[in-house]
Amino acid sequence: MGHSPSGEPMRQGGRLARRARRRRLLLWAVAGIFLVGISGYRAPASEGLRVSDPVAPVAQNAAEQAAAAPQSGGQESGAHTTARFLLIIVAILMVGKFSGELAERIGQPAVLGELLGGVILGGSVLGIVPTAPGDPMAEMVHLLAEIGVVILLFEVGLETDLKEMFRVGKAAAVVAGIGVLVPFLLGAGYWYFADPDLGAHPEGVSLTKIALFVGATLTATSVGITARVLSDLDQMRTREARTIIGAAVIDDVLGLVMLALVVGLAAGTDVTVGTVTWTLVKAIGFLVLAVIIGNFIGPHLFDFVDRLRVRGVLLVSAFCFALLLAALADISDSAMIIGSFAAGIILSSTNQFDLVDERIEPVADVFTPIFFVSVGAAVNVRLVLPWTDEFNTGVLVIGGVLTAVAVAGKVVSGFSVPWEKMNSLAIGVGMIPRGEVGLIFADIGRRGGLLSDAVFSAILIMVMVSTFITPPLLTWIFRRDGRSEWPPGPIGGC
Amino acid sequence: MGHSPSGEPMRQGGRLARRARRRRLLLWAVAGIFLVGISGYRAPASEGLRVSDPVAPVAQNAAEQAAAAPQSGGQESGAHTTARFLLIIVAILMVGKFSGELAERIGQPAVLGELLGGVILGGSVLGIVPTAPGDPMAEMVHLLAEIGVVILLFEVGLETDLKEMFRVGKAAAVVAGIGVLVPFLLGAGYWYFADPDLGAHPEGVSLTKIALFVGATLTATSVGITARVLSDLDQMRTREARTIIGAAVIDDVLGLVMLALVVGLAAGTDVTVGTVTWTLVKAIGFLVLAVIIGNFIGPHLFDFVDRLRVRGVLLVSAFCFALLLAALADISDSAMIIGSFAAGIILSSTNQFDLVDERIEPVADVFTPIFFVSVGAAVNVRLVLPWTDEFNTGVLVIGGVLTAVAVAGKVVSGFSVPWEKMNSLAIGVGMIPRGEVGLIFADIGRRGGLLSDAVFSAILIMVMVSTFITPPLLTWIFRRDGRSEWPPGPIGGC
């Protein structure tokens, strides 16, 4: 009944019920008006934004072309651009939060809801989130999404304790290694030998490259989703959970290194033993150098910032630190998220850690859903809907095989440490969910022209299904051992 | 000496001093590397971004042109766009915060430092912040700046208590009314009769329009700056301060209404008694309707949101509420900031006010400096530097006259309530600083093609000087009455 300050007597239940009914009606009215308003407003501008449109050139080029074009009524179209931009942001955030809420209500991680919300807002359903590469609005949403993923990995870095990671030791390392190697080999091997795309590769891209890329997307467990599921199940203090988290973190770092390789692939470098080694050296080198130099400079830098007194200076400095290292990583041909992950690790060892961790959260709350929703928006859902003309059985089959590979590869890793007296199945299942990192891989592949829409959608099916099945499976396993109750209590507000 | 957890004995002063010296050296090295890196990196991309370049069309148009342009290597240019974008944001925020800090250290409001930092980053000095209208990067920075000003006015709205405003009563209303009317009439009259621009108006714009516009930019006291200065001087509990704040709030609302008129002017509507009335009706109508309907729906809406449990849902909902009302205001031909101001007022009466107020702050910390820095970046500082070829004595003279009008008009308003036993001079001087609203007016005029670069720079001189002189003047007046000490204590960290 909310927190009404007026404190009414209990017997007025009828009045409260009537009020609740009126409130629900009001909310439906507001939601309706909002959706009608959005879809009505987007109509004139979005005719050219369907996914099926011919691919237009990127914004950089648009600028060059624009320089030669005639001027048109500046302020007015500018003003409407801004309103449209604000409405798109509102739609992304509200649909993201509400579908995230729905997902949590049925016992799933919120990120799943955000992805599905994105699919609905995307070009293949409502067309509210622009996805055509040449649309300047799509580029703007993309840049905000990039800030979102940079801040997300910054938060993961903040929560990564290097010493803790070394301490979890051998078991976690073995689980992580096997859990990366097996899905990678299975996935790449399947793709290389079966060629499920049947030669329909994007122009000028070799089968080997695509196979390596698909293998890479299968590797990284999402430490965020795993940790969230374990804490939702109230199993965070078990030995299994500690091993899973340790392995997922190592796994994430291996994934980040693999990502650098994948970025190199997407940028079009040839795949030889030399380039792979050089990419690995660059990625690990950037991470190690950044963390070492950062651990030397970071504490002094933030002790200095801490003595400044202008409003918000600590938060803004931390935010900028993450963005700066991300940009440096990008410029030095590594992956942006390696930079912001390093920034997080560096900051986690400063005296200002607590305050940064607390104050970056609202900023992350605003930016990260934009990433997940726009990844969802890039899915062409018509490929898997039998009643549409774009329906493609292949996408479903490929998605199914990739999911099987993803699940099998991780479950195997749980049984790789038989000398430890632990619930091997729980560990293996706990490693299943793929999340941010897999999505980032797939997104890079799509934007780099390496993955077709069909393959991208198949990988997304894998990411979503693997995320979707973990909570009920883990619940079942832990409950079988009599350690957990379902459903768990409230997950904790705002 | 920071918060070193190792707790060393006091006698090791020498080691600490050496450590402090090493730290300073390190910081200079980092700052140096950063600035060299930024200016080096921007070089290849920014050749075409000088303010003096021929004006290119806006982004909307660029998209249409782009659709016909040939495709170019997607991923690579995309990746570099992102890195450049992140570096620009980093430069804006860090220079903004550090110059804000410097301003506070010499007893000035931080916003002044952000404006000056923007001038240095802008096209006429370093050229790091893109300002040419056709550059997609400039459009992106502009959209983030728009979010910044929307959130800023949302915060002002959150802190505005409607009842309090009605209670401060007659004195504040009279001071506000006189303080709006006198500068407006003086400014518009000066411009209309003296025509200091000597007929060099942008094409197709009548002298009457420019005169009304210039008059409008002189009206609104910055409630943010005034409140900040009074609290810095520890004078918040005096009767004078309460009258100043009350008047500044009313004044801000009058300013918002005037802004709607000004937006209409910029959009090119003819100025007749009918259109002025209609604009006023629309602006006041939007504000009143939004607040009335919002006060009915808002509490239910946010009681509902409060019962959701997904992470960050309350903050994100409040953020979206501000953006949504801003977009609605824009679509209904009112001003965006009226919408977000109304959103703030509505939310200030909900049960979730405290939490929203606390959690929106970090988000505002990230977005609002982008607005002030990019307003500063639009200044062509060469117009007032005698050793450049663009030097224009007129800008200095006009800026001086406008400043005199701005100061005189507000000081007069302090003496408009002789029947109240208060320090009239303190009230008048407290009303002097122009800030956000004046800057927004000037920015709209420049983007709408109503104000030339020269007039825009002259108005900015007025805004900066009026903001600059208030803290020392107020300090002097309050100290003359033996009520204040200078310098005041630390202003309060992060």
Minimum Cα–Cα distance from B82: chain A residue: A143
Is A308 within 8 Å of B74 when comparing Cβ atoms? no
How much is the pLDDT for B463? 84
Between B61 and B344, where is the model more confident? B344
Identify which of B220, B277, B226, B283 has the alpha carbon closest to the alpha carbon of residue B251. Answer: B220
Q: Are A338 and A287 in contact (CB under 8 A)?
A: yes
Tell me if chain B has a CB within 8 Å of the CB of A80.
yes
Sign of CA dihedral A44, A46, A52, A55: positive
Taking the C-alpha atoms of residue A434 and residue A469, their distance in angstroms, rounded to an integer, is 11
Question: Which pair of tokens denotes residue A72?
Answer: 């048109």
pLDDT digits (tens, 9 = 90+) for B397-436: 889 999 999 999 999 998 888 877 778 888 899 888 886 6
Q: What is the pLDDT of residue A310?
A: 76
Range scoring the smallest mean pLDDT among A391-405, B25-39, B300-314, B335-349: B25-39
Closest residue of chain A to B339, computed from CA coordinates: A83
Q: Is the pLDDT of residue A256 over 50?
A: yes
Distances (CA, A) of B214 to A68, A305, B338, B372: 33, 40, 20, 20
Q: Which of residues 104-123 of B touch A (CB under 8 A)?
A: 104, 110, 113
Average pLDDT over residues A194-217: 77
Question: Selecting from 1.10.1040.10, 1.20.1530.20, 3.30.1360.200, 1.10.3210.10, what CATH number does the domain B149-371+391-480 have?
Answer: 1.20.1530.20
**pTM, to two decimals:** 0.73
Sort out which chain A residues have CB atoms less than 8 A from B307's CB and list them: 2
A82 touching chain B per CB within 8 A: yes
* Residue that the structure tokens 């502009």 belong to: B142
Size of interface A-B (CB pairs under 8 A): 375
Min distance B387 CA to chain A CA atoms (Å): 31
Interface of A with B in 396-415 (CB under 8 A): none
**Chain B partners of A99 at a C-beta cutoff of 8 Å?**
none
The predicted model gives B329-335 an average pLDDT of 76
Highest mean pLDDT among A142-156, B75-89, B297-311, B328-342: A142-156
B269 or A76: which leads in pLDDT: B269
Contact B331 A41 (CB under 8 A): yes
Give dist(CA A460, CA A458) in Å, integer. 5
Distance from CA of B182 to the nearest CA of A (A): 29
Of B299, B317, B362, the CB nearest to A315: B362
Q: CB distance from A444 to chain B under 8 Å?
A: yes
Tens of pLDDT, residue by residue over B187-200, are: 989 988 887 766 66
Q: What is the pLDDT of residue A471?
A: 74
The verdict on a CB contact (< 8 Å) between B71 and A55 is: yes
Which residue of A5, A83, A93 is in closest CB contact with B319? Answer: A93
| Cross-chain Cβ contact A312/B365 below 8 Å | yes
pLDDT-derived band at A302 (thresholds 50, 70, 90) equals confident
* Beta-ladder partners of A434: A221
The pLDDT tens digits for A54-68 are 333 333 333 333 333
Does residue A146 sit at the B interface (CB-CB below 8 Å)?
A: yes
Other beta carbons within 10 angstroms of residue B174's beta carbon come to 18
Nearest Cα residue to B137 out of A66, A229, A17: A66
The strand pairing partners of A221, in sequence order, are A434
Best CA proximity match to B337, nearest among B267, B247, B226, B440: B440
Q: Provide the β-strand partners of residue B221.
A: B434
Residue A167 confidence (pLDDT) above 80 = no
* Closest Cβ–Cβ partner in B27, B134, B308 for A101: B308
B146 and B370 in contact (C-beta within 8 Å)? no
For A436-450, B316-330, B455-469, which range has the lowest pLDDT when averaged over its residues? A436-450
Q: Does A204 reach chain B within 8 Å, measured CB to CB?
A: no
Confidence of residue A49 (pLDDT cuts 50, 70, 90): very low
- Give B239's pLDDT tier (boundaries 50, 70, 90): confident
Look at residue A93 in the predicted model and tell me its pLDDT: 92
| Degrees to nearest 5, angle at CA B112 with B85 and B378 | 45
> Would an 8 Å CB–CB cutoff place B10 in contact with chain A?
no
A34 and chain B in contact, CB less than 8 A = yes
Contact list in A for residue B364 (CB cut-off 8 A) is 312
Is B102 at the interface with chain A, CB within 8 A? Answer: no
Is B388 an interface residue toward A (CB < 8 Å)?
no
The C-alpha of A338 sits at a distance from chain B's nearest C-alpha, in angstroms, of 13
CB contact under 8 A, B86 and A30: no
| A273 has a chain B CB within 8 A of its CB | no
Distance between CA atoms of residues A410 and A221, nearest Å = 9
Nearest CA to B397 among B443, B448, B458?
B458
User: What percent of chain A lies above the pLDDT cut of 70?
Assistant: 68
Min Cα–Cα distance to chain B from A131, Å: 13
Burial A16-48 (b: 16+ CB within 10 A, else e): eeebeeebeeeeeeeeeebeeebeebbeebbee
Strands (E), A400-460: none
pLDDT tens-digit series, residues B109-139: 777 788 888 888 887 778 788 877 667 788 8
Q: What part of A 224-263 touches B (C-beta under 8 Å)?
A: none
CB pair distance less than 8 Å for A449 and B75 = yes
Share of chain B above pLDDT 70, in %: 68
Alpha carbon distance B206, B209 (integer Å)? 5
CA-wise closest residue to A363 among B95, B93, B227 = B93
Q: Let me know how long chain A is.
A: 494
Assign B225 a pLDDT band (cuts: 50, 70, 90): low
DSSP class of residue A55 equals: P
The three-state secondary structure class of A434 is strand
Residue A351 and residue B316: Cβ atoms within 8 Å?
no
Q: Count Cβ atoms within 10 A of the Cβ of residue B30 and give its class: 0-12 exposed, 13-18 middle, 19 or more buried.
A: middle
Smallest Cβ distance to B304: which of A27, A66, A351?
Answer: A27
Query: Residue A381 has what DSSP assignment?
Result: G
CA dist list (Å): B356 to A329, A362, A386: 35, 10, 45
Mean pLDDT of A330-351: 80
CA B26 to chain A, closest CA, distance in angstroms equals 7
Whether residue B79 lies within 8 A of chain A, CB to CB, comes out as yes
Task: Calculate mean pLDDT across residues B294-312.
Answer: 81
Kindly indicate the confidence band of residue A220, based on its pLDDT and cuts at 50, 70 and 90.
Answer: confident
**Which tokens hold the place of A174?**
């073995």
Q: How far apart are CA A390 and CA A381, in angstroms?
A: 9
Cβ <8 Å between A300 and B81: no
- Given a contact cutoff of 8 angstroms between Cβ atoms, the answer to whether A341 and A157 are in contact is yes
- Answer for the pair B132, B138: CB distance below 8 angstroms, yes or no: yes
If one compares A18 and B149, the residue with the highest pLDDT of the two is B149
Give B313's contacts in chain A (Cβ within 8 Å): 97, 100-101, 493-494
Distance from C-alpha of A151 to C-alpha of A424, rounded to nearest angstrom:
33
**Spatial separation of the C-alpha atoms in residues B463 and B5, rounded to whole Å:** 45
The verdict on domain A145-364+392-480 having CATH code 1.20.1530.20 is: yes
Contact A313 B494 (CB under 8 A): yes
- Of A180-184, A383-387, B314-318, minimum mean pLDDT range: A383-387
Tokens of B364: 């505002």
- Return the higher-pLDDT residue of B25 and B344: B344
Give the closest of A309, A320, A365 to B90, CB-based: A320
Torsion of the alpha carbons at A253, A258, A260 and A264, rounded to the nearest 10: 180
B359 vs A contacts (CB less than 8 Å): 362, 494
pLDDT averaged over every residue in chain B: 73
Q: How far apart are CA B490 and CA B193, in angstroms?
A: 48
> Which chain A residues are within 8 Å of B39, Cβ to Cβ?
none
Any B CB within 8 A of A7 CB: no
In sequence order, the 6+-apart residues with CB closer than 8 A to the CB of A208 are A192, A271
Which A positions 163-192 lie with beta carbon below 8 A of chain B? none
Distance of residue A116 Cα from the nearest chain B Cα, in angstroms: 16
Residues of chain A neighbouring B101 (CB-CB closer than 8 A): 308-310, 313
Higher pLDDT, B182 or A361: B182
**Quick one: average pLDDT of B232-247?**
73
Rg of chain B over all Cα atoms, to the nearest angstrom: 24
For range B447-460, the mean pLDDT: 82
pLDDT at B493: 34
Indicate yes or no: CB of A359 within 8 angstroms of CB of B494. Answer: yes
Residues of A in contact with B58 (CB under 8 A): 72, 74, 77-78, 81
Q: What's the rounded Cα separation, in Å, for the pair A63 and A75?
A: 18
**What are all long-range contacts of B45-49, with beta carbons under 8 Å and residues at least 24 apart?**
B45/B80, B45/B84, B46/B127, B46/B128, B46/B130, B48/A67, B48/B132, B48/B135, B49/B123, B49/B127, B49/B130, B49/B131, B49/B132, B49/B135, B49/B137, B49/B138
At residue A71, the pLDDT reads 34
Taking alpha carbons only, the member of A99, A227, A235, A107 closest to residue A155 is: A227
Asked if B266's CB is within 8 angstroms of A355's CB, the reply is no
Please give the residue that has the higher pLDDT: either A295 or A77: A295
- Among B51-55, B134-138, B299-303, B333-337, the least confident range: B51-55
**Average pLDDT of every residue of chain A:** 73
Interface contact A494-B313, CB threshold 8 A: yes
Give the long-range contacts of residues B233-241, CB within 8 A, separation 24 or more.
Answer: B233/B471, B233/B474, B233/B475, B233/B478, B233/B484, B233/B488, B234/B484, B234/B485, B234/B488, B234/B489, B235/B474, B235/B478, B235/B483, B235/B484, B238/B483, B239/B422, B240/B422, B240/B423, B240/B426, B240/B427, B240/B430, B241/B430
